[in-house]
Structure 1
Amino acid sequence: MALLLLIGAAVLFKPWLLFIDVRVDDDIPVVAAAPTTGTDTTAPDPAGSGGDSGPATTTSPSTPLPTQSAAGPALLSQGTFIDHEHPTSGTASIILQSDGSRLLAIEGLQTTNGPDVHVWLSAADVVEGVDGWYTAGSAERVDLGPIKGNQGNQVYPIPDDMDLDRFPTVDLWCVQFGVSFGAAQLSTTPS
């Protein structure tokens, strides 16, 4: 009976993941060094329907977006990861592509591997220390999917209709245990 409990616990907790690193090396778009600002605050209508709802608002009118140019993608916001349940480092950036789509780029990530870790954009602000481990779990969030790996560079598409002003935090959330591995508070880039 004890052996069955041990096997069941191992399957549930997956302790071997603590000793296995998964390195990812997605291509991160190169952003313009100093984007100019404009006043466009809408994303294109992805269906092209021109329906009654109009374009999806991505930021409040008081937050100007960088204007796209031939130079390519623009940096909208950026932050540095802090530790929560596990030591975590790296940077998170929101990038506006030339076609109007947005990406979350995580660069230089270093964290612990774990079961069922997802990348969230969260409405909760980052709180340092043990108090911050659970903050994102009770806040509104958008799940961008399972983390690709615990090391390296990775890119996640952001839904076209998502209001970025409502979700100022990137959180690496372990769904299975309801705890944050690490989080990054995003701030807009200076224009």
Structure 2
Amino acid sequence: MGRVTRRQRWGAGVVVGLVVAVAGLLWFKPWALWVDETVNEALPSANPSPNPSPNATSPAPTKGAPPSASASRAPSGPVTVAQGSFISHEHATKGVVKVVRLADGTHTLRLEGLDTSNGPDLRVWLSDAPVKEGKAGWDVFDDGKYVNLAKLKGNKGDQNYALPADVDWSAYPSVSIWCDRFDVSFGAAALART
């Protein structure tokens, strides 16, 4: 076996340096800070009852019979039951978050006018941690109970996230745009019942 030359050591160092640089770029994704993803979803509507099959027939109403209770009640539209405004943490964040009860009784978390930075692995979290201003609030949301609702659809615009039926959203008074990669809040909002 021959000796390793200075040129071979230098070449190996360059290869290792390139591998580390590429891995770092893939991990940190710095380009995401300059790429905006805008989502503009309408508030979802929900049918209070399932659609009947095309072959189903409704019984004819009896003449003079009072209308049924379900026919006399008009379905209520979406109702905002809680809301809050985002404050900035790691990145400047603006917008409003709402918990909306739909006509079928389900709940949706709605982000309106969201404007924050993009980043790697951003999530929408419900948390039992209080919303705190400044650096003191950047990393508190994973200290207690939290629910990872979904990956953030876009860093700008209006978007909806269905709240699971088995989650009592009122036990989580805070919403955070959470960077799961670096365990830090980009911005958060305290929910207040309306």
Question: Normalising by the residue count of structure 2, what TM-score does the alignment of the two structures yield?
Answer: 0.75
Q: Distance in 1 between matches of 2:24 and 2:192?
A: 41
Q: In structure 2, how many angstroms separate the alpha carbons of the residues matched to 1:81 and 1:96?
A: 20
- From 81, 92, 96, the equivalent of 1:91 is 96
Secondary structure in 1 aligned to 2:86?
Answer: strand
Q: Distance in 1 between matches of 2:169 and 2:180?
A: 22
Q: CA RMSD in A?
A: 1.4
Distance 1:93 1:152 in 2: 14
Q: 1:11 aligns with which of 2, 18, 26?
A: 26
Is 1:150 aligned to residue 165 of structure 2?
no
Matches within 5 A, 1:27-176: 27-28=42-43, 70-176=75-181
Structure 1 unpaired stretches of 5+: 31-67
- 2:36 is matched with 21
Q: Tell me, yes or no, if structure 1 residue 186 matches structure 2 residue 191.
A: yes
Contact 1:110–1:152 at 8 Å: present in 2 too? yes
Letter in 2 for 1:28: L
Q: Is the 8 A contact 2:163 2:169 kept in 1?
A: no
**Contact map agreement 1:87 1:111 (CA 8 A) in 2:** yes
Aligned length: 152
CA distance in 2, matches of 1:165, 1:12: 35
More helix by share: 2
Distance 1:99 1:83 in 2: 34
CA contact (8 A) 1:137 1:179 kept: no
Cα deviation 1:3-46 (Å, max 9, x = unaligned): 2211110011010101100000111259xxxxxxxxxxxxxxxx
Distance (whole Å) between structure 2 residues aligned to residue 175 and residue 77 of structure 1: 25
- Name structure 2 gaps, 5 residues minimum: 1-15, 46-72
How far apart are residue 70 of structure 1 and its match?
3.7
Letter aligned with residue 156 of structure 1:
Y
Same amino acid, percent of matched pairs: 43
